[in-house]
Amino acid sequence: MATLGLIEYPDASPEVRAVYDDIMATRRVDRVNNFWKALAHDPVTLRRTWESIKQVMAPGALDALTKELVYLAVSASNQCTYCIASHTAAARKAGMTDAMLAELMAVVGMANETNRLASGYQVEIDDRFKTA
């Protein structure tokens, strides 16, 4: 279980409940993930992290699905077991199909492969890729 345990809604302080309420309202769900319940031991970090996520994941120049795909891609690349599980669910809710998941992982895999080929061969940056 989480190091400090999980804080459930009935046991939460008013400031933690306020964040939980905003998460559920924003995402239109009736419960919050364990991630938030674990962070709730530190209400300041809970609020900051949630406010940041809310801001960053809102549709803008990139739509919500694309952002969820990128989030899952990074989590898979980083081998974060919890995040892969939770963001697979989130991406699906945002519209990711099985076919999209498969193509996403194919890209993540190739990027991780060529990242190492580039570094392993010590390839120098092409002059035209250098910003000036």
Residues numbered 43 to 72 that lie near a second copy (CB under 8 A) are 44-45, 48-49, 52-53, 55-57, 60-62, 66-67, 69-72
Among the listed ranges 7-15, 18-26, 29-37, the one in contact with a second copy (CB under 8 A) is: 29-37
Give min distance, CB of 49 to a second copy, in A: 7
- Please work out, in degrees rounded to the nearest 5, the angle formed at the alpha carbon of residue 68 by the alpha carbons of 67 and 73: 100
Among 24, 27, 33, 93, binds a second copy (CB under 8 A): 33
Among 10, 25, 30, 129, binds a second copy (CB under 8 A): 129
* Tokens matching residue 72: 């899952």
Among the listed ranges 9-17, 19-27, 115-123, the one in contact with a second copy (CB under 8 A) is: 115-123
Based on the shown chain and the rule CB under 8 A, indicate whether residue 94 belongs to the binding site for a second copy: no
Do residues 127 and 97 lie in contact, with contact meaning Cβ atoms separated by under 8 Å?
A: no
Question: What number of other Cβ atoms are within 10 A of residue 126's Cβ?
Answer: 7
CA distance 49 to 88: 20
Based on the shown chain and the rule CB under 8 A, indicate whether residue 25 belongs to the binding site for a second copy: no
Cα first-last separation, the chain? 50
